[in-house]
């Protein structure tokens, strides 16, 4: 019985903490803009990627929580088709302005 | 015999004003008042002259039927503590230039024409088709999503005022989980009027001002531009707060309001190919669409998503609908409401 209560308490704690997180910012359809500013300060530069596109902007307070506000056009991220085996993937990302 | 005196007085007055302006701005600024704008020359040296056009809020930019009363002028206190002249603008709270269309799809075979739009959970907006409803468990990676009746294929919709009230809010009532949330404009008698106090002449703030929890401005067609929709709270209750195709939706507190710029309020077309104007931010600066006539987005936007040109002065460019926001911050001072004691 005690074990069940402990699990209930644990689940309740997780629920409350995740609910608080859910209500602590407005949401974007994606958490990426918030995650991009999780460890940053107001007006810091930030980037995030969605749907193979890279967004670049600065961290701004939206509903008192920092989110990455894009101020540059989205960039399409297209991997080079000619990438060689073993080649550093991050270095082979070709950025094309929309 | 009396005529020369008024002319003399006028001439003297102009001289005094000119002297006064020059004296007041002798360190850096020269103010030239033109027909519809004030040009502030903030040159600091003869060789490095920069001129910034400041465009006043123009009441004639609002669409016919967008406002419920005439715009009036009143003294207001700005976020920096200064007093200024503000426009009191009372919007209708419903679009003056189109009929509000559908939000939720009726069943799992509905097409894009039959419903509005919503976020897919990874930063994109999609038409809420029947297929979209069916794909929710995959989109949100959660098998608890089921917005329809398996036996009939009908989508669970908040189709009464009571269910609208229980679901169209951050703390969704449990009984409305797994519902597509929509409310009729009839529940708010055709729209909730909102009153805005906006500086007539925008004044650049020493530091940008954060976007608060409420609205960020007003659209030229009489609709409120709301702060970001609380998507996380909405999704955590297994609901979608469907937008119509104009990125607007309705709740009983705010009525019809926008959470994104979908082009429906871009009513002031620009003759130079610049994106059309769609509204004003609370600081009095204009808000324009994201893309110009060549579908190009500016590359010199600041952190608030604004920049300056000679025609429009400082102005914002709204973000895309999928970003669930319009602007990043206020570049100008905003008017404080009566119950506010400091900046938002």
B260 in contact with A at a CB cutoff of 8 Å?
A: no
Q: Is the pLDDT of residue B2 over 70?
A: no
Q: Is the pLDDT of residue A83 over 60?
A: no
CA distance A88 to chain B (A): 26
User: Stretch A5-33: mean pLDDT, rounded?
Assistant: 49
Assess whether B25 and B83 both reside in one domain. Answer: no
Cα–Cα distance between B186 and B255 in angstroms, integer? 10
What is residue B50's predicted lDDT score, i.e. its pLDDT?
62
The model's pLDDT over B273-317, given as tens digits with 9 standing for 90+, comes to 999 999 999 999 999 999 999 999 999 999 999 999 999 999 999
Assess whether B168 and B192 both reside in one domain. Answer: yes
B133: domain range? Answer: 58-344
The model's pLDDT over B104-144, given as tens digits with 9 standing for 90+, comes to 999 999 999 999 999 876 778 899 999 999 999 998 899 99
What is the token pair recorded at B313?
A: 């002065």
What is residue B340's predicted lDDT score, i.e. its pLDDT?
62
Lowest mean pLDDT among B33-47, B86-100, B149-163: B33-47
B299 in contact with A at a CB cutoff of 8 Å?
A: yes
Chain B residues 227-246 with a CB less than 8 Å from chain A: 227-236
CA distance A11 to chain B (A): 16
What is residue B33's predicted lDDT score, i.e. its pLDDT?
32
User: Stretch B14-28: mean pLDDT, rounded?
Assistant: 34
The DSSP call for residue B188 is G
How many domains in chain B?
Answer: 2
Assess whether B230 and B212 both reside in one domain. Answer: yes
Domain boundary residue, one of B18, B36, B54: B54
Residues in chain B with CB shorter than 8 Å from the CB of A73 are 296-297, 299
Is B236 within 8 Å of A25 when comparing Cβ atoms?
no
What is residue A30's predicted lDDT score, i.e. its pLDDT?
73
Closest CB from B233, B301, B325 relative to A23:
B233
The model's pLDDT over B231-287, given as tens digits with 9 standing for 90+, comes to 888 889 999 999 999 999 999 999 999 999 999 999 999 999 999 999 999 999 999
User: Stretch B202-223: mean pLDDT, rounded?
Assistant: 93
Domain residue ranges in chain A: 29-97
Assess whether B49 and B73 both reside in one domain. Answer: no
| DSSP per-residue string spanning B84-144 | EEEEEEEE-SS-SSS-----S-SBTT--GGGS-EEE-SSS-EEE--HHHHHTHHHHTT-TT
Closest CB from B233, B302, B303 relative to A22:
B233
Is A73 within 8 Å of B120 when comparing Cβ atoms?
no
Assess whether B300 and B229 both reside in one domain. Answer: yes
Is B228 within 8 Å of A63 when comparing Cβ atoms?
yes
């Amino acid at each position: 019985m005690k074990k069940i209560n402990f699990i209930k308490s644990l689940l309740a704690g997780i629920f409350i903490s995740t609910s608080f997180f859910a209500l602590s910012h407005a949401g974007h359809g994606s958490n990426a803009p918030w995650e991009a500013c999780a460890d940053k300060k107001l007006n810091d530069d930030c980037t995030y990627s969605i749907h193979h596109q890279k967004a670049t902007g600065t961290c701004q307070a939206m509903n008192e929580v920092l989110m990455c506000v894009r101020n540059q056009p989205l960039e399409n991220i297209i991997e080079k088709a000619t990438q060689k085996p073993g080649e550093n993937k991050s270095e082979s990302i070709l950025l094309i302005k929309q | 015999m009396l005529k020369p005196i008024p002319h003399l007085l006028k001439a003297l007055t102009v001289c005094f004003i000119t002297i006064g302006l020059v004296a007041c701005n002798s360190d850096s600024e020269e103010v030239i008042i033109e027909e519809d704008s004030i040009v502030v020359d903030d040159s600091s040296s003869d060789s490095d002259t920069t001129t910034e056009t400041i465009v006043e809020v123009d009441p004639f930019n609002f669409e016919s039927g967008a406002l419920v009363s005439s715009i009036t002028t009143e003294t207001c206190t700005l976020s920096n503590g200064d007093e200024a002249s503000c426009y009191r603008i009372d919007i209708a709270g419903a679009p003056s230039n189109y009929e509000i269309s559908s939000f939720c799809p009726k069943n799992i075979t509905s097409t894009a024409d039959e419903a509005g739009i919503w976020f897919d959970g990874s930063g994109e907006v999609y038409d809420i088709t029947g297929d979209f409803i069916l794909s929710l468990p995959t989109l949100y990676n959660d098998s608890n999503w089921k917005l329809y009746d398996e036996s009939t294929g009908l989508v669970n919709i908040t189709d009464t005022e009571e269910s609208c009230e229980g679901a169209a809010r951050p703390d969704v009532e449990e009984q409305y989980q797994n519902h597509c949330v929509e409310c009729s404009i009839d529940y708010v008698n055709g729209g909730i009027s909102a009153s805005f106090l906006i500086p007539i002449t925008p004044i650049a703030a020493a530091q940008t001002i954060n976007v608060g929890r409420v609205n960020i401005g007003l659209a030229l067609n009489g609709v409120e531009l709301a702060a970001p929709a609380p998507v996380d709270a909405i999704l955590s209750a297994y609901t979608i707060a469907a937008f119509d195709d104009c990125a607007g939706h309705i709740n009983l507190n705010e009525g019809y309001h926008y959470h994104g710029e979908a082009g429906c309020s871009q009513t002031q077309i620009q003759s130079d190919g610049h994106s059309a104007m769609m509204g004003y931010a609370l600081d009095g600066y204009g808000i324009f669409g994201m893309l110009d006539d060549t579908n190009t987005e500016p590359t010199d936007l600041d952190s608030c998503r604004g920049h300056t040109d000679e025609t429009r002065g400082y102005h914002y460019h709204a973000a895309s609908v999928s970003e669930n926001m319009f602007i990043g911050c206020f570049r100008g001072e905003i008017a404080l409401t009566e119950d506010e004691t400091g900046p938002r």
